[in-house]
Chain A
Amino acid sequence: MTRVLTGIALALIWVNRIGAGASAPSAPIRFEEVAGKAGLHFTLRNAASGKFHQIELTGGGVAVLDYNGDGCTDIFFTNGAAIPSLSKTGPEFHNRLFRNNCDMTFTDVTEQAGLSGEGYSMAVAVADFDNDGREDIFVTGVKQNTLYRNLGNGRFENITVKAGLAGGDAKYGRMWSVSAGWFDYDNDGWLDLFVSNYVVWDATTEPRCGSPEQQFYCHPSVYQGLPGQLFHNNRDGTFTDVSRSSGIAGHIGKGMGVAFADMDGDGLTDIFVANDSVRSFLFHNLGGGQFKEVGLEAGVALREDGYAIAGMGGDFRDFDNDGKPDLIISGILNDSFQLFRNPGGGHPFEDFGQRAGLLMATRQFTGWSLGMYDFDNDGWKDIFFGLSHLAELDRYLGRPSALPNHIFRNVDGKRFEDISATAGSDFQQAAMHRGVAFADFDNDGRMDAVVSVLNGPAKLFHNVSANSSHWLGIRLHGRQSNREGLGATVHVHLPDGRDLYNHATTAVGYASSSEAIVRFGLGASKTAETLEIHWPGGVAQTLSGVRGDRIVDVTEGLPK
């Protein structure tokens, strides 16, 4: 009898393990902060001097890219400038490029690269816009955006004017651009550019807010909003502003983070814009160069009670592995971060934050950049939040504005657990965190994160999670599609029956740009039984028996 019962118990355990897609238990996600010993010395300076200029609150973009094609991921930071001149009056305000020496040390190569920049910089968006095999850099700023073309010899050329990106909007002129991202909206194989713009601001006319005795930053409601911009890539190194013809410019917001995904599986990439204190926008790509704003109908525009949160960063990715990209958006203290689950079929998104355990857990946070990545490679994407309250808010809160970052582990696609307390002592350190970008800097299969810090040293969180889970990275090489395959969706089917989904994008979080490699945690599976890629150009490609624990290069249309 005992043997029979034992056998039944074992069978039940076995059935449960292969049943509903439960993940194998994994070791805690842990990070070590190594910027100092890695030689990554950078301080984001906002030029705050007690005058509470509004632009001091934003900025801090960071990008990861492989600018020299050596297989090791480099890092680029944006930086501020003097106010009110908005000039980078000295090296303390330079944007900076750090070359990864392929040994987890970095060298500042800014001067050689010609990337110290101009103006009060905000965000960075990286992609190979001219399909020459080299990643280029677009930097947004306060009334000054800059496109740098990667020349391939360690140097970049400022081609903003030549590219047709130096001018401003016909009505608003040059704008305060907070975020940007590259995507191919018309699937012509060339990456187009979306820029989110914040508010109308001028140092000489900005209002004074706060009390007569104590000035403070103004609430965004004091400022007039701005439209986003869409630039079509003309394939010849120039761009055409299609903001009006596309319908994008018809919507005035206070744009912060930008994220892209094909939300309805129609083969066209859609745009999400997190707006600050006004409803967020979801631009549905209708094809033919037309977009329709559907945030209200899609249920992602506002918080559940109809309140417009101070939207900061966003990621548009599938957290529950049902093949449909979902949305996570950070906000400010007492907003609660928003998680919207995409049920597909043209149905509105579900407000999933409470069910997922995020609503109350994030209520006391102010979040900036963020990202949904599988940090423990168990097959479920976790969430990393870069946090800090607004500068100077401590006097009103009675506690510091500096916050430690937080990481939430995805539990089987049903809920998220805050596991920050076990993420290592370095992870507990509070700071004025801002931009975050994600990459595997040491190519060990575990996702790392680089974080900019307002008026403090940048941080490099090296993922040292001790687990034996397997992983897979797919580096896409487009032929009909854009060179990096941005917009391609990837579906991995595992031997244990699980399906994993992801897509290629560099627009992640707030003002920042992450790697283009499409990553998967495979859990206990050493291989992907099948790997199905849907390229933006329409080509579908399937690979079988793909061994894990490596980066696989996949060229569009060619068998592996």
Chain B
Amino acid sequence: MLWFFFGAPESAGYRAYERANALFAQQKFDQSLTAIEEALRLDPKLVPALTLKAKLAMSINRFDVARQSLEQALAADPKAQYAQFLYGLEAYLTNDMQAALPRFRKAVQLNRSDARATLYLGLTTESLGEAAEALKLYEEAVRLEKLAGRPQAETLLPGGRLLLLLGRLDDSERWLQQALALAPQTRDPHFEMARLLLRKGEAERSAAEAETALKLSGGITTDAQVHYLLIRAWQQSGMPERAEQHAEALRALESMKK
């Protein structure tokens, strides 16, 4: 029965979708959108194209368009895991935690190896006040990434932060050390380590770590956050002049925004 070995006929819009995907990767978003629209004109239920359209819409904060596209994609294929994950992300990014929770849960069920879905389920759970459950999810996300041979600093940081919040400083340090080892040239791990060190009373080491963070980029930590940490770290190190420099820098940042 040879026909078993033939896949479903390729969608009419698939070529256009592939073109759109390549353009998206090159950050040629307008052209990507045109190609997506062509793909969907040819096949309105083409799940990869609908998913890509959602991704593009989210990148420009058009969450309404993203939600519609994802709902169409999931109607066409309820097991489209990536679409399901993005569906959860849409809710998470618009602060609709009630909607995000079941969506991420489903994404995890569809692919239990997806560390990213597990991570975001953890972030949503933490937002809803379930710290212990969130920590378990963060641990699972890290485990999955290690199993896949692709550990990421971004996956370690939420757990590191939560452990710091819970006062589990040694555990937090272990997570943050791993994050630092994976991304030594990225700001976030250095900032979080600086926070931890300040909490442990190691002000000078904290200041050094934060000064490093200030020189780096990458992640979600803003210059203002680092400056604020440095104000306190230098104060506690007995160097008020350096602290004042960072206070002035922070105020200057605010003036620039006005």
A-to-B contact residues, CB < 8 Å: 211-213, 252, 296-297, 299, 301-302, 304-307, 334, 347-348, 354, 359-360, 363-364, 395-399
Contacts and interface: CB of A to CB of B under 8 A. Distances in A.
A299 B98 contact: no
B29 interface: no
Interface of B: 63-64, 94-99, 101, 127-129, 131, 161, 165-167, 195, 199, 221-222, 224-229, 231-232, 235, 243-244, 247, 250-251, 258
Contacts of A296: 228, 231, 247, 250-251
Contact of B129 (A213, A364, A395): A364
A212 B64 contact: yes
B98 A396 contact: yes
Contact of A305 (B98, B195, B250): B195
B246 to A, nearest CB: 8
Given A297-B244, A305-B195, A334-B127, A348 B225 contact: no
Contacts, number: 63
A360 B228 contact: no
A334 B131 CA distance: 11
Contacts of B128: 397-398
A212 B251 CA distance: 36
B235 A306 contact: no
Contacts of B243: 297
Nearest to B126: A334
> 5 closest A-B pairs (Cβ-Cβ)?
A306-B225, A398-B98, A364-B129, A306-B228, A296-B247
B150 to A, nearest CB: 27
12 contacts: A211-B94, A252-B258, A296-B231, A297-B243, A347-B235, A354-B167, A359-B165, A396-B96, A396-B97, A396-B98, A396-B99, A397-B98
A360 B166 contact: yes
A540 B57 CA distance: 68
B222 A306 contact: yes
Nearest to B240: A297
Contacts of A397: 97-98, 128
Contacts of B222: 306
Contacts of A297: 231, 235, 243-244, 247
A359 B64 CA distance: 35
A302 B95 CA distance: 22
Contacts of A354: 165, 167
Contact of B131 (A252, A348, A360, A396): A360
Nearest to B251: A296
A305 B225 contact: yes
A304 B165 CA distance: 10
A68 B97 CA distance: 50
Nearest to A299: B232
A212 B61 CA distance: 12
